[in-house]
Structure 1
Amino acid sequence: MNKQKKITVIVSIGVLILVIIGISFWFLLSKKSDSDTGRELTEIDYDKYAEIGYDAEKVDKLVKLIDEIDVKISEDPTDYEIYLKKASIYRSLHEYDLAEKVYFKAIEKFPDFGAAYGELGEMYLGDFQDFEKSVEYFKLAIEKSPYRSDYYRWLADVYSAKFPEKKGEIESLMLAGVMDSPENAATFYSYLVNFFDKEDNMDKAIEYAMKALEIDPSNEVMAKKLKDFQAQR
């Protein structure tokens, strides 16, 4: 082999080695990205968790479970439910900022799945008390998973409790749920029965009680409500 060929072979081998190193580095970074869902609990403040009723043993078990979940994510980053499980553990520890980061990671990787949006909406409502964000994420959850009747109900609850000017949208919201998820029609009608009962709108309460009974004539509770409403007319 002449000198020129030797140089060519050496250069080719060098390039190949660099390519292999580059691919390996990219793979390691992608694995890190898959498991990097926020700051982990490197320093555990047991006194803080004691305030929410968790002893050291309970906290250690939850932290160990988080570590195990991180390993599973690095092995199979396509498991959507594992992200939700990790976020729920952080929420149980009242580590809401970390839970939020995990939900964002789940949304980044699975933008068309509704559960992370819905659980974020619930967290913004109850834990952060950020009602506008809760509305935003409940709407996104409905858009992504229109078959989930609970998302419609949670959004309607926020409207009733925190945005009274939006109460007028609740009926159309529930009827949209009937269209999007007809198998849950009785649930939506029942919600409207209770809503209009609280609003002292007996005509509407009767209308939706009758619709609910058309779907489930054996519903004795709804039948009694209808009878009571008619007596109040």
Structure 2
Amino acid sequence: MDKNKKGIEFLQQGKFEEAIKFFTEAIEENPNDAVAYINFGNVLVAVKEIDRAKKFFEKAIEIDKGASAAYYCLGNLYYEQEQYEQAVKQFEQAENTGLHTNDVYFMIGMSFVQLGSVKLAIPYLQRSVELNEDDIEARFQYALVLAQSEIYEEAIKQFELVVKREPEHADAYYNLGVAYLGYYENQEKAEEFFHKAIEIQPDHILSGYGLKMIEKLKEANE
């Protein structure tokens, strides 16, 4: 019996005690199996024992310096604890040791966003979208950092792709409204987008502010 595989099945079912039993046995039978430590760490994350989980991920790395999944898991822990510089280091180590998924690039990008370095985030979020074109959240975040970096035409293109793939994405409509108002100075189109955001989400406060701003602009031009 593959005890790691069995433990993962129980973990996915939310049966944490059973998962711990199998991962413990896997470690006892093979103390140099980095995968078992990573799996055990993931159970501990699930039950909110974060400090213990860190130790298991660190042990996995001690056993195998190329354990990219352990670096990724550590990165997630640091991100959740708002230690974004540490998170970036761990995610980059995950990438350097062979993890080239859209998730790892997304998390590096989002760590840079949290650090206020939106321009550094751009290539990572772009790569994330390239690797998984159906990841709406990654595309939306990519569009945001483009807009924040004043790369408006590409940002608009990305927001438009978001609403095409997810027609109920109120925040994307709001940001389209902002972009059309600020970059194209197209009040009519911006108003349309703000209304669409409110239609989807009636309490979308920012879109309400956007409509009020357009009203003031209209009054000023009368």
Contact 2:118 2:145 in 1 (8 A): no
Alignment match, 1:171: 122
Q: Helix, strand or coil for the counterpart of 1:194? A: helix
Alignment match, 1:184: 132
**Structure 2 gap segments, 5+ residues each:** 1-13, 185-222
TM-score by length of 2: 0.56
Q: Helix, strand or coil for the counterpart of 2:132? A: helix
Q: CA RMSD in A?
A: 3.6
Counterpart-to-counterpart distance in 1, 2:84 and 2:179: 36
Letter in 1 for 2:120: E
Contact 2:140 2:158 in 1 (8 A): yes
Letter in 2 for 1:131: Y
Q: Give the % identical residues.
A: 19
TM-score by length of 1: 0.54
Paired residues in the alignment total 163
Matched, 1:84 2:66: no
Contact 1:146 1:177 in 2 (8 A): no
Contact 1:103 1:120 in 2 (8 A): yes
Matched, 1:143 2:84: no
Task: Choose which of 37, 62, 70 in structure 1 pairs with 2:24.
Answer: 70
Q: CA deviation at 1:115?
A: 1.6
Contact 1:87 1:102 in 2 (8 A): yes
Query: Which deviates more, 200-209 or 106-115?
Result: 200-209
Evaluate the alpha carbon distance shift between residue 93 and residue 209 of structure 1 in structure 2; reply closer, same or farther with a 3 A threshold. Answer: closer
Q: CA deviation at 1:91?
A: 2.5
Evaluate the alpha carbon distance shift between residue 63 and residue 189 of structure 1 in structure 2; reply closer, same or farther with a 3 A threshold. Answer: closer
Contact 1:120 1:134 in 2 (8 A): yes
Contact 1:83 1:106 in 2 (8 A): yes
After superposition, the C-alpha distances for 1:27-70 in whole angstroms (9 at most, x for unaligned) are xxxxxxxxxxxxxxxxxxxxxxxxxxxxxxx9xx8566434422
Matched, 1:205 2:205: no
Matched, 1:105 2:91: no
Q: CA deviation at 1:144?
A: 2.6
Matched, 1:115 2:65: no
Alignment match, 1:32: none
Evaluate the alpha carbon distance shift between residue 205 and residue 229 of structure 1 in structure 2; reply closer, same or farther with a 3 A threshold. Answer: farther
Counterpart-to-counterpart distance in 2, 1:146 and 1:67: 28
Q: Helix, strand or coil for the counterpart of 1:112? A: coil
Query: Which deviates more, 190-199 or 140-149?
Result: 190-199
Task: Report the structure number with the largest CA radius of gyration.
Answer: 1
Counterpart-to-counterpart distance in 1, 2:95 and 2:140: 19
Q: CA deviation at 1:198?
A: 5.6
Evaluate the alpha carbon distance shift between residue 74 and residue 202 of structure 1 in structure 2; reply closer, same or farther with a 3 A threshold. Answer: same
Q: CA deviation at 1:136?
A: 0.8
Contact 2:71 2:94 in 1 (8 A): yes
Q: CA deviation at 1:79?
A: 5.4
Q: CA deviation at 1:191?
A: 3.3
Q: CA deviation at 1:121?
A: 0.8
Contact 1:118 1:151 in 2 (8 A): yes
Where does structure 1 differ by over 6 angstroms across 4 or more consecutive aligned residues? none
Letter in 1 for 2:56: V
Evaluate the alpha carbon distance shift between residue 105 and residue 219 of structure 1 in structure 2; reply closer, same or farther with a 3 A threshold. Answer: same
